[in-house]
Amino acid sequence: MVNVNSLSVNTIKADATVLELNDGEEDALIIESGAIEYLKFNTLNKEILSSKTTTLGENIIQGNCFNISGGSIDGVSIGVDTPASFFKVGSLTFSKNTIRATNVNGINFSNNDIIAGSFTFSTASNLDFTAGNLIDAGDVKLDSINAQTGSGIDINLKNNQASALVVRQGVNEYLRFDTVNSKIVVSQNLELDANISGLNFTITGGNIDNTIIGANTAVSVNFTNLSFDSQVGASDFK
């Protein structure tokens, strides 16, 4: 039969295994019931359009590339048989606010920046950046800072900042590094258990109490006013 306009049958059986469609047509083949369309073959854009809910059996759908451009993927585990190595998403929302690793190596973030949100590691023993950097962190809360074996700790301060680094508790400032005037400001009482060594110290205010000046090595002292509460003894005055 050739060029049949409408064919009504109960069953179609074919010896061949190929259903040949016309090329370059948006509606090359439509499977419908009345005005309700179920499946359409578009040979113009090389696609199959399913207009209704499609239920697939337990067989695996295999292919090199699948593009899902809308809708939702619900109740599905991704990468069960073979772990997926890369996903590119515009926005990722977790209903339980949890990312959980299934192996001892944990979760690795690489090559791209995490620019928003927060991460809480409730039971993680280590967060390893593999010699990388933690950049532009707003607030870092920790219990201790330890140097790596064989390495020291360098704190590099920004230049020309009156408060380049401040050590404080609440509103109480203890230590401040001023890179504008190249000085360290101590705002609370300072107790030292060891000697202070240096070539030049300038004390411009306050008191020096219960201290022997020049106890180990005699020094020259210039005074504007000198008051004594008791006797002054010396072997030689000049």
- State how far Cα 170 lies from the chain centre: 26
What is the reported pLDDT for 205?
Answer: 81
Q: How far is 128 from 106, CA to CA, in rounded Å?
A: 10
- Domain spans of the chain? 157-189
Work out the pLDDT band at 162, boundaries 50, 70, 90: very high
What is the reported pLDDT for 59?
Answer: 64
Q: How far is 76 from 78, CA to CA, in rounded Å?
A: 6
Average pLDDT over residues 126-153: 76
Q: Is the pTM of this model over 0.75?
A: no
Question: Residue 117 pLDDT > 60, yes or no?
Answer: no
Highest mean pLDDT among 5-19, 36-50, 141-155: 36-50
DSSP secondary structure of 11-73: ----SSS-----TT-TTSEEEEETTEEEEEEETTTTEEEE-S-----SSPP--S-----SS--
What is the reported pLDDT for 237?
Answer: 64
164-204: pLDDT as tens digits: 999 999 999 999 999 999 999 999 988 887 777 777 778 88
- State how far Cα 151 lies from the chain centre: 24
Work out the pLDDT band at 114, boundaries 50, 70, 90: low
Work out the pLDDT band at 84, boundaries 50, 70, 90: low
pLDDT > 70 in the chain, percent: 72
Q: How far is 124 from 127, CA to CA, in rounded Å?
A: 7
Classify the phi-psi angles of 136: left when phi > 0, otherwise alpha if psi is within -120 to 50, otherwise beta. Answer: left
Q: How far is 24 from 41, CA to CA, in rounded Å?
A: 11
